[in-house]
Structure 1
Amino acid sequence: MHGGEMEARRPLLSGDPLDPSELDSDEGEVIFEKGPSGASGESGGSAPRMLTYEEAVEVAGFGLFHWLLLLVCGWANASDAVEILCVSFLLPTARCDLQLTSSDMGLLTASIFLGMMVGGYMWGYLADRRGRRRVLVVSLTVNGLFGGLSSAAPWFWLFLLLRFISGVGVGGSIPVIFSYFSEFMPRLRRGAMISALATFWMAGNILAAGLAWGVIPQTWAHFSVGGLDFQSWRLFVVLCSVPSITSALLFRLLLPESPKFLMEAGRHHEAVLVFKLMFGLNMIGKAKTFPDFSLRTTSRPSEDVEDMTSSPQKEHLCGILTKVWLPVRQMFGSSLRRRSVVLLVIFYCISFGYYGLWMWFPELLRRVELGGSPCANVSVKSPAPNQSCEPVGTAVYMEGFIIAASNLPGNIFTILMMDSTGGKTLLSCGLLVSSLSVFLIYMVQTKTQSLTLSCVFSGVSVIAWNALDVLGPELYPTRLRSSSLGFFTGVGRVAAIMGNMVFGRLVDTDCAAPVLLVSVLLLTGGLAALLLPQTRQTELR
């Protein structure tokens, strides 16, 4: 690539302000043979071709840039999984160190979801107004920083508070990652690539389970620092914060802003530079020149563009709240109302069911070891202050690792089938089969049966989650994409909080009730998914 092109890319990679002279420096030969105008653009002085977003994405090609994007966004997605699920793996050990009852454990698992509920819509709103990349850097930093600090908390209330703030960061990165990633993808590859991105959740799950298996049972990780009894589970918490911090650095150093967001914000020259960056990386080793074109978009009213590009001004509280609430009003407006109501039901059902059960898997497996059934009457009481704690066997963490790894078949299945089958069908079928597997978990009486059905639930439920990750960005226009995903993930966090609180209250007294409730809710979500529109390979609005 020539020197002028490298100079034009520098601001996107470094994060420095874009110089106007650089924005006007796009040069190159128009090489595509078909388009809306049919002109080649090679003759001197001819006006550059006007392309829509989808056409520009196709011109930029598919290749190295998209695989780099998948790795960085995937690592960020994995870091969110690690941060969320690490709490479930530390429960069997930390319950003794922090003197926790089952209700306390339910409150702890709920704390991160409460933070995600608070952060989800707030970060999504900011991402739709100020940019995806900036929000991802800040939210991932908050996640990793406060997650790491929680390892040094000597008291339960402080540990709870820091996990809550960490959850605020997670709440921003999860919905924004998928909207950001989808806005770089060619239409015909979007379903498979988003499914591949969702697969990194499994990688994070396996990483968390592997770290728990390798670190928590070890005695060498137990020492005292300044009066704090730093046990192995605290080192595990520190290690779980590393992926989020490194993800924030990768986004800051390597990736540009979403071109779709830049176009909708009226920053067309910057969007062209992003497409140039994509083209240059995708066409390495190919004798092709970046074409000269301009961008056009007709999907956003001019007043919205002004709102997104203007600098913040002091406003009355009422005006600010009205602006923040506006995306929700638009989501439940006449044209989007039905899909929004259906998605609300689905997010509630799958989040209550999945997180309510998943966060308690290590504890339920421990009870299987003691009583032969996940609902064995094995109560968890807070130990006395001077009472020694019995070590938790490595079998619990090994089984958690096996359940996490059982996501793999479901992830491979969705990558292969998403573009041909469609997200709607996979979402409905995944939820219905998950419902059946949870019902059978309640019925079993042996450790082998329980572990087998838990693996089935893990492998099937991930199909539903991956389908939802693909459907979400396709159901809403750019101006609402991150806000809508943030809102619905916030609804999901409310459900996750309720699921964990219900398990914490009832797991000792009436374990059957929350398990059967999970089965019913997953069944409800699977039936509701049939009401969604089919969006297979649709163009992003």
Structure 2
Amino acid sequence: MKNESADFEKSREEDEVFFEDAFELAGHGRFNHLVLLTSGLILLNVSMESVGMSYVITAAECDLHLSSEEKGLVSAAAFIGIISTSFVWGYLGDRLGRRRVMLPALLASAAFSIASSFSASVWTLLVLRILTGCLVSASSATVYAYLGETHMSSRRASAIAWGSVFISFSFITLPGLAWSIIPGKWSFDLLGMAVVPWRAFMWTWCAPGIAAAVLLLLLPESPRFLLATHGPDAALPVLAQMYAWNNRATRFCFPVKKIMSGNLGADKVGGFAGAVKNMALMFKPPLLRCVFISHVSMFAVFMISSGLYMWVPDILNNILKNTSEDSLTICTIIQEKILKQKNMTLLSPDHACTADVSVGVFPISMVMGAVFALTYLAIGVFINKIGKKTLYSSIMIVCGFMTVAAAFVPQGAAATALLIIALCSGCSASILAAVAVDVFPTCLRAMAMCVMYMVGRTGAAVGSYLIGAFLNTHCLASFNVLGLFTAGSTVLMIFWPKPERIREKMEQLGLTY
């Protein structure tokens, strides 16, 4: 059997082969595992940089004199940076290449992130976190295009789902690191700045991004991107490298020597004018419906998952520090805390600020991360069995109603459990990415994913700020609006078109997948 396979491959060495057939011959193995690890580390870095401030704002409250509104702004800063530059990075990703954009941005974002830890005022911190978000934006969605394009079509959805599992690791590692660092009472001087635990904690976020940058040095550009922008001769060496890594052979053993070029005219329209022409296709049928549904849905996903998550450590801290023996809802606990602070201010206007973080916040947050990890793993297992749209809608409906229920349950432990389930909605972002990546052609894929995640991060920023602004005054309404909007957004999935029809129409225009 092995000899027959070898003879078959040898007989085709001088034949022209379609790109998808050549991709299948490249196989699946060590190369794909390294891509998956690298992409996972990038997603871990993006997640840690995006939501890590949720563990800092309480600890830094006194050092930086943060109000509730300023906490909301600082929490949303990274999202603001991601939002403001996603369109630019999408263009550059489709123009210059996925790897070429992500590699320098990962290193630069680490530098700005470390610089932000030395901020002496809330506005300096805000500006530096926004700049960090601008650089993180380069990888936040481009990585999905890279991950999808380095896997054969039949494995694309599961690869994106498995890569997204790394996002859940951030919800385990962040509280774990915070638990070991933030409660410390130590400090030391560095560059004229007194480094306290919460500042040192911010340095740990950079490690996954730096590791991913090192691994990217070993990996090539996406073969599908090279096919679309430089033609089959540029893509062939990458496929040969994939074959060599997956089969423990040399590139010269790759059985394909030439790839059929096909019609690449539409993809190879050069310059900014060509990019604008291609982008215009996103806002015309048949892609317009896909853009609207996927972008609104991603807004809903991030509004509840990331927007609410930024405040969960603060909410948990309030629950754990509540000394009342009565069964109280989350909103009642928050109201009592505000009333207590007002009374303290009236009785003693000069009372010292205290920013103690209850140690119990950290193990609960780690349990939350473990639940996320199990949810991501379940998605990786069942995404092809249940169906992407069905799985996505089911998760969002359940999480939406759990958000509403969490505000009404008069018991801290039960409310915490419901909040953890509600935040699992963030796991459905990977499903939505897998749904969307199938319908956008190669020359638009990075742009489409970047814009979609830009809209998603807008939802996160809006959610984080609105909760910060209204949690103290309209707590119950905040939870109800978030939950019902999340569950209701799944109605849009009914109108999602069949990917085969979209691909057929776009291929008629000469665009490749």
d(CA) in 1 for partners of 2:246, 2:429:
30
Distance in 1, Cα, partners of 2:134 & 2:483: 29
Correspondence for 2:210: 245
1:327–1:101 distance in 2 versus 1, CA, 3 Å = farther
Q: Say which of 501, 506, 509 aligns to 2:470.
A: 506
Aligned partner of 1:307 in structure 2 is 270
Unaligned runs of 5+ in 1: 1-28, 43-47, 309-319
Structure 2 match to 1:92: 58
Q: Secondary structure at the match of 2:142?
A: helix
Please say if 1:344 is aligned against 2:295. Answer: yes
Aligned residue type for 2:428: A
Q: Contact 2:168–2:370 (CA<8 Å) still a contact in 1?
A: yes
Q: Separation in 1 of the partners of 2:195 and 2:12? A: 67
Cα distance in 2 for partners of 1:387, 1:363 equals: 20
Question: RMSD in angstroms over aligned alpha carbons?
Answer: 2.6
Quote the Cα distance in structure 2 between the aligned partners of 1:434 and 1:246.
Answer: 33
Select which of 70, 85, 101 maps to 1:104: 70
Higher deviation after alignment, 279-288 or 141-150: 279-288
Aligned to 1:374: 330
User: Does the C-alpha gap of structure 1 residues 299 and 162 become closer, same or farther in structure 2, counting only changes over 3 Å?
Assistant: farther
Report the 3-state secondary structure (helix = DSSP H, G, I; strand = E; otherwise coil) of the residue aligned with 1:224.
strand
The answer to whether the Cα contact below 8 Å between 2:244 and 2:251 also exists between their aligned partners in 1 is no
Is contact 1:136-1:176 (8 Å) kept? yes
* Match of residue 40 from structure 1: 11
Give the counterpart of 1:281 among 208, 222, 245: 245
Give the equivalent residue in structure 1 for 2:377. Answer: 412
Helix, strand or coil for the counterpart of 1:254?
Answer: coil
Alignment of 1:144 with 2:110, yes or no, is: yes
- Which of 118, 126, 140 aligns to 1:174? It is 140
Task: Give the equivalent residue in structure 2 for 1:357.
Answer: 308
Amino acid at match of 1:64: R
Task: Map Cα deviations across residues 314-338 of structure 1 (whole Å, 9 max, x no partner).
Answer: xxxxxx5x66654442111122111
- Give the counterpart of 1:471 among 408, 431, 435: 435
C-alpha spacing 1:32/1:131, structure 2 compared with 1 (3 Å)? farther
Q: Describe the shift of the 1:234–1:484 C-alpha distance in structure 2 as closer, same or farther (beyond 3 A).
A: same
Unaligned runs of 5+ in 2: 323-327, 504-511
Determine the C-alpha separation between the residues in 2 that align with 1:465 and 1:306: 32
Look up the match of 1:162. Answer: 128
The CA distance in 2 between the partners of 1:75 and 1:345, in whole Å, is 27
- Aligned residue for 2:189, secondary structure, equals strand
Paired residue type of 1:332:
F
Structure 2 residue identity aligned to 1:350: V
Task: Indicate how the Cα distance of structure 1 residues 50 and 205 shifts in structure 2: closer, same or farther if over 3 A, else same.
Answer: farther
Give the aligned partner of residue 508 of structure 2.
none
Please, which moves more after superposition, 152-161 or 279-288? 279-288
Query: In the alignment, which residue of structure 2 is the partner of 1:23?
Result: none
Q: SS at the partner of 1:363?
A: helix
Q: Is the 8 A contact 1:475 1:535 kept in 2?
A: yes
SS in 1 for 2:11: coil
Alpha-carbon contact 2:16-2:256 (below 8 Å) kept? no
Verify the 8 A CA contact 1:438 1:519 in the aligned structure 2.
Answer: yes
Classify 1:182/1:95 alpha carbon distance in 2 versus 1 (closer, same or farther; 3 Å): same
> 1:117, 1:491 within 8 Å by CA — same for their partners in 2?
yes
CA distance in 2: counterparts of 1:234 and 1:205, whole angstroms:
19
Q: State the match for 2:257 in structure 1.
A: 293
Secondary structure at 2:242 match in 1: helix
1:214-293 equivalences in 2 (<5 Å): 214-220=180-186, 222-251=187-216, 253-284=217-248, 289-293=253-257
Counterpart residue identity of residue 41, structure 1 = R
Does the Cα contact within 8 Å between 1:216 and 1:233 map onto a contact in 2?
A: yes
- Aligned residues of 1:178 and 1:194 also touching (Cα < 8 A): yes
How far the C-alpha of 1:269 sits from its partner, in A, is 2.4
TM-score relative to the length of structure 2: 0.89
The structural deviation recorded for 1:149 is: 0.8
Q: How far apart in 2 are the matches of 1:417 and 1:496? A: 27
SS class of match (1:229):
strand
Distance in 2, matches of 1:288 and 1:323, equals 36
1:31–1:288 contact (8 Å) kept in structure 2: no
Q: Does residue 428 of structure 1 match 2:393? A: yes
Shift of 1:58: 0.3
Matched to 1:305, the amino acid is K
1:400 aligns with 2:368: no
- Aligned length, in residue pairs: 487
TM-superposed CA distance for 1:386, in Å, is 8.2
**CA deviation vs aligned residue, 1:319-368 (integer Å, no higher than 9, x gap):** x5x66654442111122111111112212222222222111110111121
Relative to structure 1, the CA distance from residue 68 to residue 102 in structure 2 (aligned partners, 3 Å threshold; closer, same or farther) is same
Structure 1 residue 242: Cα displacement:
2.2
Write out per-residue CA displacement over residues 160-190 of structure 1, whole angstroms, 9 at most, x where no aligned residue: 1010011011212011101001111122222
Q: C-alpha distance in 2, partners of 1:210/1:112? A: 21
Mapped to 2, the partners of 1:62 and 1:347 lie a distance apart of: 30
CA contact (8 A) 1:350 1:521 kept: no
| Letter aligned with residue 356 of structure 1 | G
User: Secondary structure at the residue paired with 2:151?
Assistant: coil
Structure 1 residue matching 2:314: 3-state secondary structure: helix
Superposition deviation, residue 422 in structure 1: 2.4
What is the distance in 1 between the residues matched to 2:221 and 2:369? Answer: 33
Contact 1:327 1:484 in 2 (8 A): no
- Tell me, in whole angstroms, the C-alpha distance in 2 between the residues paired with 1:78 and 1:32: 44
Q: Shift of residue 390 of structure 1?
A: 4.2
Q: Report which stretch shifted further, 360-369 or 184-193.
A: 184-193
Correspondence for 2:100: 134
User: Alpha-carbon deviation of 1:127?
Assistant: 0.7
Please give the per-residue CA displacement for 1:279-328, whole angstroms capped at 9, x wherever unaligned: 011112799932133123445325x41516xxxxxxxxxxx5x6665444
Q: Contact between 1:364 and 1:374, CA under 8 Å: does it hold in 2?
A: yes
- Whether the aligned pair in 2 keeps the contact of 1:403 and 1:454 (CA below 8 Å) is no
Q: Which amino acid aligns with 1:40?
A: S
- Cα offset, 1:453, TM superposition: 1.1
Bigger proportion of residues as helix? 2
Query: Residue 212 in 1 paired to residue 178 in 2?
Result: yes
**Structure 1 residues 509 and 327, CA gap change in structure 2 (3 angstroms):** farther
Identity value in percent = 26
Provide the rounded CA distance (Å) in 2 between the counterparts of 1:115 and 1:327. 25
Mapped contact 1:30–1:41 kept (Cα < 8 A) = no
Task: Give the equivalent residue in structure 2 for 1:315.
Answer: none
Q: Is the 8 A contact 2:305 2:426 kept in 1?
A: no
Structure-1-length-normalised TM-score: 0.84
Deviation per CA, 1:396-418, whole angstroms, max 9, x where unpaired? 12211211221122112111111
CA contact (8 A) 1:367 1:373 kept: no
Q: 1:394 to 1:297 in 2, by over 3 A?
A: farther
Q: CA deviation at 1:114?
A: 0.8
Which residue is equivalent to 2:507? none
For residues 196-218 of structure 1, the C-alpha deviation after alignment (integer angstroms, 9 at most, x for no partner) is 00101011221112111111112
Contact residue 388 and residue 431 of structure 2 kept, 8 A: yes
In structure 1, C-alpha distance between the alignment counterparts of 2:12 and 2:429, rounded to whole Å:
44
